[in-house]
Each structure stands twice: as structure tokens, then as C-alpha cells.
Structure 1
């Protein structure tokens, strides 16, 4: 299955049928086809096209044109820090870039030179040698950053199309004619399930800019704006992360409003979802269903749907083989080709090999064939915004501050991170607060410390450190569990009041 199925689906639509709906312009099928072909022609000779831009039709057209031209697409999340952007661009050796943030790119000093504009985006290019990419790579998806230098996942067009087609088949009977893209398009979930799948089912795709949907960076959100946007678009479907679902549900309950009646399906994924939250959301009219996926598995592995729902992450999609090995979920499919520059994972000359991926997630299958998650094998935190964060990375930034002697970060399933900090000798609370602020300034907004508590030193004497002084994470979090829980309650209470 190749990207040709997208263009075949587009060719079957009436010339004047609206396909992409932006804030100031709509794109009908005929016009969209011409624009894709024109841009694909301009991309001739491009190896890797990077796109750093807000949501909108231009982003979607650039993505489709890269597929048409056979160029590799590197979506760059706007919430990446400058070092993360530089890392992704350097690792992928992107030679062409489209952006609405040219100043950020210029600041990186990576050799990009502006050479014109296209649909409101600055066209930038540079000359450099290519890097190794597995054969058949169509997209490089750098994760949100479980470490300071996230790995670039190389994905095949065949695998992405298989995911999109499986999603269409799973939801084929639902009346979905209009999809509203709420998540950043740079996230593979919205890219695959919010662009490719709607195109295959001949749906209209609404692509407003993120600020009009209520986004304020990746750490704050205004649900009233989302309610207005869903009503204005007459949306039938959308995708949320748990934190957005929570904010919208609280807004509906507080204002005694109900979700727009036209909504048919709201998928929620990216992090664990509380069953209570799903129940509350449905009480206010949100037809929300939980799913599960990973970048390496083409973004979606399983999902619930009307008539086949449960307190779990649903039934695996038909194009994947999912099994449990020693409690760990393993997924076999054709999407994952390897990592950027890693010849041990890529296979030269073999396009879209069948590959089994060890997810690192623990789970089991229920009697009904639904997948149940039970935790993660390692320490990676997944916030309720759906961001993957290795606590060791954030801790290293905190420990770079002289005022902080020891640090343990937590926040799995929470909207923001908290920390247990040990001050250096002679450091008072005000100095510790200043140190945290300096560390936060060096971190992307989704990894910043929201609140923290000061603690006595971790040592072998109190059982909170090993013999070589390494903090024992589980013991520390258990020891301070009540205080950490109080931090979240206090912050949530303060947010409600404000």
C-alpha cells in the first residue's frame, strides 16, 4: 500500500468539493490537486523537507507534496526547544525547510538561506551531505523528547497508509464528514489520523491555527475556544490528549453547557486516561473513546469505538500483529524502518520490512480481545498532555544549578512536573526557587517544574540513596507521596480559583 491511495481518493472527489478548510481560505479538490503537483515539482531534488509551521492548509499541502515528490518529510514541533530543533535538523540533514518562524531557524545558524515564499511560509535551503536513512523512509518523526536529544523515527509511506486505512475501516459506519484538527499537525497522531484517514474517507478537514483552538504553547489551554471552534466547524470528529479532554470537560460542567450535538467520535490518546474522566466527559455529551499507540508503530495501535468499548485501550487495528511477551506489549507491522543514522536498525534496500517493536509498555489482553495497559517498563513519564519525558533529562538541568544538590522529578499522568529537591548547604528557599526558575528557562515548556518540595538529603542512612550516592527513585517518591499529592491538589485548587 503506497501513498498513491491518498491521491487516488482525492482524484475521485468532485472538483469543487471543499477538502481543506483554513481560517482565511478553503481548498477545493481541483485546486488542491494542482497545488500539490506544483509544490511536488518544486521539491524535485530535495532529499529531506523540514516543516516548522502552525496548523493550517499549507502544512497539510506541504506534507502531501513531499509524499508526491518522494521527498522525506521532517515535521518539526513548534514546542521543541532551540537545541531540539537543531538536533533534528542536523541528524536528518534536512536540505529544504518551510517555516512561519524564519527567525528561529536563522538563530540556529545551520546554513539555511531564505529563497522565497510559498503560501505564507518562508522557503529556506542549504547544501550539505546526506545522512543514512533506511530505504523507503517517507517521514522522520522526532518524538516530543523523552531525552534532551530525541531520536528520529523513520517511517514508511506504506506503513502510514496502512494505519490510515485501518482507522477508516474501524470507524467506517460512523457519520464522520468533517474532522477538526485540534492537535499540532507535527504530532504523528494528528498527521496520520487527522489528515490521511479523513482524506481516505473523503471527509472535509478543518485546519485552524492552534491559538484559535485555545492553545498557549504546550502547557496551557483555553477550553472555551475549543468549544467555539468545534461549533463553528460543525465537526464530527477530533483527537484529544487527556489534558485537553479534562479541561474541556471541566469547562462544560462549570458552565453547564453540553458538547456540540454533531460530534460523532472523539479519540483520546497519547497518555493514560482515567476511566472517571471518560465517564464525566460522556455525561456532558462528549463521545470520547480511548486509544493507544506509539510513533514506531505508525501512531495508532488500538482503539475503542461505539459498540466495542471498554475500560481499556480497545482492540488492535487489523493491520498489526500485537502480542504480549513477558508482560510487555510487542507490535509487528511495516511502518517502522529504523532510526535516523542508525545502520543497526535500518535495512538498506529493503522497503517496509515486517518488524516487531518492543514497546516498553506492560499490558495484557482481556477475554474480549481488548488490550489493557498496566504501566511502563522504564522510568519515562507521560504527562496528561501526552508528552514523553525522561526524568533524568530534567534532573540533569536542575542539577546544573549550584543551589540544587539532589533532584528527583515526577509527574506521570499529570499536567505538569513536580520535583523533590535537596538544597546545597547554606541555600535558602528563595535561592532554591530562583534556581528552579533558571532551570525552567532552559527547558521546553512541557518539561518545566510546576511545583516542588524541599527535602532532607537522600542518603544510605535514610534508605533514599545507593552506596554511590545515586537517589533511589521509587523509595523517594514513596516517601514523599503525600506531600507530592498535596502539591497537585494545591495547584489544581489555585487554578480553579483563578
Structure 2
């Protein structure tokens, strides 16, 4: 399996004038991209071993990560949507000694006192220094508590996952990828940078959309897809919903150029998936986690099975033990930063099962399982997927337990807040009843409340990248009940 540097060199030698990476400011062919990577890699050869990367999406990000990899560094992506406190924690926790920046990021104010290097995209001809034998990466996620935890990955895991994802998605040199998710997300890094380098494809980075997604403020996607007419992209379910709603409202369809749109991070409501297909969006649900280098299973082009996340990547061994998904293979993490090295299978903490054809069905988090007062087990993700079939909802969370009724917390999209924030509890409960009509009675929430997106952020009910914090929501509901008592 060739390294990323070898793939870059081989593809450049085959056709150096082919387009590689572009954004609103840069449009580099393979030869120019290789030169920019080579110049920065030469600078980084004498740099400290652990480098952070803090900058918005774009060509500069791609140059920085590939140059740092070629220089054999341990790379720590620093999400621009993290708070200053979270970034400071990561820098200290990972032992970051140098932070690569573009000189324009507002979050850089949090880096006073840290060594930084402003990355310039220098396309003057240069030869790539002898690539180091290995590089590493530490991926942080905000998590349910808000305290980031580092997942250690090496070149072996990343190179294998890149090749496996390229094969599963049928990526080729003819692909034009549109990048709209923050590049600090491992899946986006793989799909937008590493896979195109492996197969010789090209990528356009839409910084404005990625910035809006990072802070949970995106309201439109149809325009950017129509403008760039890509062949492939990766989305989160809530973004797919925004796109579907926008196309439906305007009587439009997705660009005919699209052949593959991966959707992951959470279940896709069946009604949204069906509407996407009718609008020409070729969605392919997948499943993964950072501890397994982002992708474990994926619906392949031409072989999508609705309601599943497809079959495991070729080369991974995925089994179900006591309901839990367990993964073995070359993409499994080396362990968490500061913890003992990990060897062997990875217990994901996710519940799942296989259908008769070997497609994986993810049921939810094991530690999220709710046991009702009648002793029935309810995976909240199951109920939340039904709730999120309403395109007006940005997020939803189901909370409860043996001594508390199942309660649906509804967080509407900004455009729909007016109705949700003025609706009575009877109206909200009626809506929830209609959305969950196909579920068994024990899984239907008995109560419903609405919370604005702004309040959810102020009360820290959601993470910086838009995931619900279940423990915080349970505490929030308890406080409301006590106030009402």
C-alpha cells in the first residue's frame, strides 16, 4: 500500500497539470500542490515532534496536514469551533509545541504564549524531502462532557482507512469532491484530502459553509452544490435534512453530477432518506468512530440497503457480542492519549445487529439505553430518529428512566422557532405522538418540551459541534420539574 507521499508523487508524475485542490483564494494543480507541500515539509523538518493545526477549511489546511505528515510529525487538528478553553486544554494535553496557523483565524487569540508558524502556500518548484517513515495523529472530540479526549492514530491506521474508504466509495481520478464539513473532523480529512490524493481526484473547499456548519448556523446548501456540481461529498443527517427541505421548497433537484454522498454521525430518518432519493441525492449511510479511524461500515454505490449502514469495510472483522458492536482490524486505535496502549478488538459501546445479508444496523449507544418504569429497554436514538423526520427540527433528545416519564426535548431550526416556542405542551405532545406513531407504545414519549437553539447553547445542552449532551439535558429537566413543583 503506497504512502500518501508516494501517491502524491506518483499522481503528479502521471499528470502534474491535473487540478488538485481549490478554494475561494487558491486553485492548485498537482504540481503546484506538491511544491507547496514540499516547501512547508522542508520547514517542518526541524520543528518539534507534535504540531497543532488551527485554521479554517481550505487549501492551506490541506498543504499543512500533508506537509506535517511528510515531515513525520504527530498532528493535532484544533477545531476552530472549539472554545478557547478547550483548545488550551488540547494543546497542553497533547504536548503541542508548535501550532500551524494561516494568520487569519479569530481563535488564534487563544494561542498567546504558544509558538506558532504562519503557513504560506508557496508553489515555487521544489522537491519533496525524503518522507519520514511514519507520522501520527491525535483526534479530539468534544464528547458528552465537553472535555476533549485524544484518540491516537498512526500512519498505518490512516493509510489503511484511506485505501479502504476509496475502494468502498468507488473513488477515482475523475471525482470532484465538495468539502463542506470542518476538516478537523477525521472523516472529512480522509474524504476531502487523503482519498483524493490516493486516487488523484480533486477537491473544492467551501470555507463559508464549513464555518457555518462548525458553529451550527448553516441554513442553505443547495446553492453551493449547484454551483460546483461535484461528484461526491460527505454530510451529517441534519445537513441532509436542510438540503432536502431547501430543494423541496424551491422545486429543485440535486445536480446530476453527483454519484455518491456519504451520510454519517447519526441515523437518517427513513422519510428524509426517501425524499433525498426522489430529489436526486445519492445518499449512502455509513457508520464509524474515531477509535476505528472514522469508518467501520458503509453502503456501497449500487448496493445501498435502506435502514442499514451497509457492510463492514473489507479487511475489518465486526461482530455483535451481547448486543454490542466490536471491531477488529488494521484501523483500530493505538489507544487514548495518556492511557496504556490498546491491542486487539475495540468495544465500540454501540448497540447493533446484522441483517440476513450482512448489513449492519446500528441501534444506539449502550450507555444511553433507557429502562422505563415498566422494565422495557428503549434506545433513545431510535425514538429521536422518528422525531427528526420533521424537517423543522434541528435536534431532538429523549430522556427519562424508571422514575421519570419519557420526555422529548425538541430543538427547532431557527426558521421554525416561532411555532415551537409558542406551542402549548398539548400541541407539542400531539406532534410527538404523530411522529412516533409507528413505535411501540412503551417507546413513545409521554411529555414534550421545546428549547431554542440559542438556549440549548447557553445552557450547554449541546456540544460545540451540535450533539446533544444527555446528562446535561437530564439535569436541565430535573431543574425544571423542581421549579414547577
TM-score bin, normalised by smaller chain: 0.7 to 0.9
Aligned counterparts of 2:51 and 2:397: Cα–Cα separation in 1: 28
For the pair 1:62 / 2:97, whether they are aligned, the reply is no
Which 5+ residue runs of structure 2 have no aligned equivalent? 123-132, 370-379, 389-393, 415-419, 421-452
Contact conserved, 2:152 with 2:336, CA < 8 A, in 1? Answer: yes
Aligned counterparts of 1:437 and 1:17: Cα–Cα separation in 2: 44
Contact conserved, 1:268 with 1:291, CA < 8 A, in 2? Answer: yes
Pick closer, same or farther for the CA change 1:23–1:41 going to 2, 3 Å: same
Identify which of 324, 329, 333 aligns with 2:329: 333
Structure 2 equivalent of residue 317 of structure 1: 313
Contact conserved, 2:136 with 2:155, CA < 8 A, in 1? Answer: yes
1:280 Cα shift? Answer: 0.8
Structure 2 equivalent of residue 304 of structure 1: 299
For the pair 1:17 / 2:15, whether they are aligned, the reply is no
Contact conserved, 1:139 with 1:156, CA < 8 A, in 2? Answer: yes
Aligned counterparts of 2:411 and 2:301: Cα–Cα separation in 1: 25
Aligned counterparts of 1:116 and 1:207: Cα–Cα separation in 2: 20
Aligned counterparts of 2:344 and 2:412: Cα–Cα separation in 1: 32
What secondary structure sits across from 2:367 in the alignment?
coil
Contact conserved, 2:171 with 2:199, CA < 8 A, in 1? Answer: no
For the pair 1:222 / 2:223, whether they are aligned, the reply is no
Aligned length: 404
1:443 Cα shift? Answer: 7.1
Aligned counterparts of 2:218 and 2:59: Cα–Cα separation in 1: 22
For the pair 1:40 / 2:41, whether they are aligned, the reply is yes
1:444 Cα shift? Answer: 3.7
Structure 1 equivalent of residue 374 of structure 2: none
Structure 2 equivalent of residue 107 of structure 1: 110
1:91 Cα shift? Answer: 0.6
Structure 1 equivalent of residue 236 of structure 2: 241
Deviations 1:170-202 (A, max 9, x none): 233789520111111110010012211122121
Deviations 1:258-281 (A, max 9, x none): 111111111100111112211111
Equivalent residues in 2 for 1:342-421, closer than 5 Å: 342=339, 344-345=340-341, 355-379=344-368
Deviations 1:58-85 (A, max 9, x none): 0011110111000011111111112211
Equivalent residues in 2 for 1:60-459, closer than 5 Å: 60-100=62-102, 104-107=107-110, 109=112, 111-114=113-116, 118-119=120-121, 138-172=136-170, 177-209=175-207, 211-212=208-209, 215=212, 217-223=214-220, 226-310=221-305, 311-335=307-331, 336-342=333-339, 344-345=340-341, 355-379=344-368, 439-440=459-460, 444=464, 446=466, 455-457=480-482
Q: Structure 1-normalised TM-score?
A: 0.72
Contact conserved, 2:397 with 2:408, CA < 8 A, in 1? Answer: no
Contact conserved, 1:51 with 1:73, CA < 8 A, in 2? Answer: yes
- Choose between structure 1 and 2 for higher RCO, CA contacts under 8 A separated by at least 6 residues: 1
Deviations 1:286-342 (A, max 9, x none): 111111010011111111123312120101001211111111001112331111122
Which 5+ residue runs of structure 1 have no aligned equivalent? 121-134, 347-353, 393-405, 419-432, 463-498
1:434 Cα shift? Answer: 12
Contact conserved, 1:231 with 1:260, CA < 8 A, in 2? Answer: yes
Pick closer, same or farther for the CA change 1:314–1:5 going to 2, 3 Å: farther
1:113 Cα shift? Answer: 4.1
Contact conserved, 1:391 with 1:409, CA < 8 A, in 2? Answer: yes
1:206 Cα shift? Answer: 0.9
Aligned counterparts of 1:313 and 1:146: Cα–Cα separation in 2: 23
Aligned counterparts of 1:207 and 1:105: Cα–Cα separation in 2: 21
What secondary structure sits across from 1:457 in the alignment?
helix
Pick closer, same or farther for the CA change 1:411–1:268 going to 2, 3 Å: farther
Aligned counterparts of 1:112 and 1:388: Cα–Cα separation in 2: 36
Aligned counterparts of 2:11 and 2:108: Cα–Cα separation in 1: 33
Aligned counterparts of 1:368 and 1:217: Cα–Cα separation in 2: 37
Structure 2 equivalent of residue 400 of structure 1: none
Deviations 1:121-165 (A, max 9, x none): xxxxxxxxxxxxxx9661110013322212100111111111111
Aligned counterparts of 1:258 and 1:156: Cα–Cα separation in 2: 41
